[in-house]
Amino acid sequence: MTSHDTSHRAHDLRSQLASLTTEAFRPELADIDRLPTLDIARLMNGEDAGVAGAVAAQLPRIAAAVDAVAERMARGGRLVYAGAGTAGRLGVLDASECPPTFNTDPARVVGLIAGGPEAMVTSVEGAEDSRELARKDLDALALAPGDSVVGVSASGRTPYALGAVEHARSLGALTIGLACNEHSALAAAAEHGIEVVVGPELIAGSTRLKAGTAQKMVLNMLSTITMIRLGKTYGNLMVDVRASNDKLRARSHRIVALATGAGDEEIERALTECGGEVKNAILVLLAHVDGPTAARLLTESDGHLRAALAQTR
């Protein structure tokens, strides 16, 4: 690339950024660094208060995306997040929280960040600008048509996120584009476009603020509601938790108690019989079956506790 090409590309990029709501400069905040700390905190808190409303405006789109993801995951597909910088880190965070929260196989929900694991804590030069890197990362996962890919980018123009969505769509996978600007290239490239417009940031150029909060809220919805649809909860109880430490063992006991109303000794016996599996223990207590029968019923019901209970009535 010649110096002229580089200069032209830089000019185009500056023009693109200048047109983005998330990158807008707010003159009324130009003296924010002179304000008392409490006043800055109040300003920041006031900005954050509007994020939930911006997410609410996209709920129909979010719900449609969740239903599409859940349908594929029920058939064995995976959920893959792909982003750069803060967006990538949020995807990795959401993916990493699914195994301990919902007892999912770590390979079922995956977070890809431009530049790899190193980019979680440091900037990897040029990684976010590479569509090809996104293609390679998805190919390394052997992405299939039954999988779902969520490209995440505050600007909605990040080449890594765009490349991931474009490549996933070419392979027949479900695609979702999550951005924080209207009319984004990312939303346009995906089957399901979600644009949470939170407006200019308190600090110009720092899209880890309102935009980051909005992305975290939407990712929470995508993974959590998908897991509800997959039978990972019973009502609003997290019944697929696995008791791997003292806190989780205490939580498991409490969840079984809330679901069944059984006494402590009954609960402990059921959990022991079921190897600590909360969902199985609840079925043992509510349906009055033994551990192996509970396991069989849950297998036949694809892990849905309500459906397993219905088989015993």
Angle at 1 between CA 22 and CA 24, to 5 degrees: 10
pLDDT value for 30: 81
pLDDT at 11 over 70: no
* Closest CA relative to residue 192, chosen from 58, 74, 91: 58
Least confident of 38-52, 136-150, 236-250: 236-250
Nearest CA to 152 out of 122, 113, 121, 182 is that of 113
Task: List the chain domain ranges.
Answer: 51-229, 246-311
Residue range 17-44: mean pLDDT, rounded = 79
Please list the active-site residues: 97, 128
What CATH topology corresponds to 51-229? Answer: Rossmann fold (3.40.50)
What confidence tens digit (pLDDT) does each residue in 110-121 have?
Answer: 999 999 888 888
- What class has domain 246-311? mainly alpha
Find the range with the poorest average confidence among 108-117, 126-135, 257-266: 126-135
193-205 residue pLDDT tens = 999 999 888 787 7
- The number of residues in the chain equals 313
**By C-alpha distance, which of 218, 196, 189 is closest to 65?**
218
Q: Which DSSP string corresponds to 105-139? A: -TTTEEEEETT-GGGGTS--TTGGG-HHHHHHHHH
Confidence of residue 15 (pLDDT cuts 50, 70, 90): low
What pLDDT does residue 4 have? 47
